[in-house]
Copies of this chain bind each other. A is one copy, B any other.
Amino acid sequence: MKFSQFFIPTLREAPGDAAVVSHKLMLRAGMIRRLANGLFAYLPLGLRSFRKLERIIREEMDAAGALEVKPTVIVPAELWKESGRWDTMGEALLRVKNRLGGDFVVSPTAEEAITALVRDDLSSYKQLPLNLYQINTKYRDEVRPRYGVMRGREFVMKDAYSFHTDDASLARTYEDMGRAYRRIFRRVGLSVIPVRADSGAMGGSGSEEFMVESEIGDNTLILCKRCEYAANVEKAACKPDFVSVSVSAAREAAAGIPPIERIDTPDVKSIAELCAFLKTDAEKFIKTLVYTASNPNVDILKSIGWKNSGNKNAPATLHFVALIRGDLEVNEAKLASLLGASDISLATDGDVERITGAPVGFAGPAGLKDVLIIADESVSAMTGAVTGALVKDVHLQNVAFGRDFEPHLIADIRTVTAGDRCTLCGEELYEKKGNELGHIFKLGYKYTKTMKVSYLDIDGKAQTPLMGCYGIGLDRTLATVIEEHHDDAGIVWPITLAPFEALIIPVKYDGVVKEAADNLYAELRELGIDTLLDDRNERAGVKFNDGDLIGIPFRAVIGDKNLNNSPPLIELKYRADGKTRLVELWKAAEIIAAEVRAEIASFAGFAGGET
């Protein structure tokens, strides 16, 4: 491609609203332009990289046995009503009415559409497993789109949905997808942190997020300084500094603890105030928090044995109490997950007063009635704790687990933080911000049951298939590659995503320099190298700067002086390390082509190495 016939409107400065480096560089390099808040168009240069990413993802999906399909972007609302997401998805779902008054959805994901397609044509177990994917336009009506294509409203996602007869088959496809994802990210030069939902547990995992470290990340990651432990803080576990105790063991131990004692604590409410007042450590206290859960799962409540669970309809909101050792913090995401709730928040002061019989600050487990109590494992190991007394300005001492109170559920509801110990190896944990590029997930029966999908098994009996889903955001991945591969002068593309592999810069596009440049261009194209020839009538400095900005890996600079050498030379410069070398003109095309191929092979080999 000749620069003059291409369209690369580079900018000296990025517009003021571009806050992160990938957004700035994509605008400055003429890769993208803003059409509206959260809506970005790809210009020709940006689209070349985008298409290369698309191709890599398609290759890896096909190699893993997934089959490409193309549902529509606009999908009838009925399907979303069937799955229930029409109601639960909220305002992020862009809804549209057609001229006949029908309701439609601009797809943010395609569980419904793909499940509906499979439902229509699935008859026999012989058709399974089946893994269908698309690389298609999606829309999420984000309130605050940010960081360019990193968090846009319209975006392109590769989303795959697999269907299975049994857990083993789902596990195989899930692992295949995980391997394909790792290959994809390596092929584009990204180091991802695979974050398993239950890294701490042994055996199969139900969800894995592919994270990249990022200052602008949405997620907090908990990582081990020694081993490979990595978890989203919402799920992270740590090695406890106590030994968990069973309720019966706790009851026995409680025999040795002195009876409960009241302490007047006028106006002393916080743990810190109590520590000072009682001259003791936070570890001696049980923190008692009242929460409100929205839409808790009725089956889970039943399994906990919560008495109101006989009610067929789950309560829309449920108040409950969480207990944790005074020096630790409760993790609301873990609570939400435990209860299958759509949201967890601290109860209002009024609710706290109604439930505990005392103003905020004097809650405690002993004597609490008619409310679900969930205790962190840390509480089970405490012997004789300080708690609120359910009376204003009064606390209790020597409160014993198993004697004075008994929670309905003991679980890990603790927020792991930097400094806690790794659950796998005991080393210290640390925190990082991360961005999610991909996610693989075992959905189980969630959609196939609500949308009534079935097949006949080998005995001719109707069965419901299991399902998995696997997504990668293309725009965000591309922006992340730039976040990880740039310098002060511009983008430093990995060869696999570079819009062009080689750039020829004639210092002045005229006379023998022009002739040499045109010849090299023809030779490189002949050799199958994606080449850009900067044939503009611009100063060399402008061309060098644009070349650095758009980040082509190999650059051939052709000037009078080197050409006049005997034999004629040109300068070869590498974008990644800035190194230059002189090569003979007549050999230049072969040398560049060989180096481009070696570089591509190094990424491919990298990819192939992992199984």
Contact = CB atoms under 8 A, between A and B. Distances in A.
A9 B121 contact: yes
Contacts of A36: 75-76, 78, 102, 104
B69 A47 contact: yes
B117 A33 contact: yes
A540 interface: no
Contacts of A104: 36
Contacts of A5: 65
A41 B70 contact: yes
Given A117-B43, A137-B137, A35 B72 contact: yes
Contacts of A154: 72-74
Contact of A69 (B39, B41, B79, B139): B41
Interface string A106-139: 1000000100110011000011001010001101
A311 interface: no
A88 to B, nearest CB: 16
A132 B73 contact: no
Chain B CB within 10 Å — which of A41, A106, A121 has the most? A41
A447 to B, nearest CB: 15
Contacts of A141: 98-99
A143 interface: yes
Contacts of A50: 70
Contact of A70 (B47, B121, B143): B47
Nearest to A77: B36
Interface string A420-457: 00000000000000000000000000000000000000
Contacts of A79: 35
Nearest to A118: B7
Contacts of A113: 35, 41
A69 B33 CA distance: 11
A98 B141 CA distance: 7
Given A96-B106, A113-B35, A121-B9, A44 B30 contact: no
A120 to B, nearest CB: 6
A67 B94 contact: no
State the copy count for this chain. 2
Contact of A39 (B76, B95, B99, B137): B76
A415 B6 CA distance: 46
Interface residues of A, number: 58
A79 to B, nearest CB: 8
Contacts of A42: 69-71
A459 B50 CA distance: 38
A571 interface: no
B153 A74 contact: yes
A85 to B, nearest CB: 16
Interface in A236-291: none
A72 B40 contact: yes
Contacts of A518: none
The interface residues of chain A, by DSSP majority, are classed as: mixed
B106 A99 contact: no
Contacts of A126: 4
A101 to B, nearest CB: 11
Contacts of A102: 36
A132 B35 CA distance: 16
A91 B5 CA distance: 39
Chain B CB within 10 Å — which of A6, A70, A99, A121 has the most? A70
A196 B182 CA distance: 53
Contact of A41 (B4, B71, B143): B71
Given A98-B141, A127-B7, A143-B99, A44 B69 contact: yes
A221 B130 CA distance: 47
A36 B7 CA distance: 40
Contacts of A136: 137
A130 B41 contact: no
Nearest to A133: B44
A68 interface: yes
A535 to B, nearest CB: 12
B91 A69 contact: no
Interface string A143-179: 1000000000110000000000000000000000000
A475 B173 CA distance: 32
Contact of A116 (B35, B72, B116, B117): B35
Given A7-B132, A141-B99, A121 B30 contact: yes
A47 B117 CA distance: 14
Interface in A1-33: 4-7, 9, 30, 33
Ranked nearest first, the 8 interchain pairs of A and B with the lowest CB-CB distance are: A9-B121, A36-B76, A41-B71, A42-B70, A44-B67, A96-B96, A91-B99, A72-B154
11 contacts: A7-B127, A35-B113, A35-B117, A40-B72, A42-B70, A42-B71, A44-B67, A44-B69, A74-B139, A94-B98, A136-B137
Given A42-B71, A94-B98, 5 more contacts: A9-B121, A73-B137, A73-B154, A92-B99, A98-B153
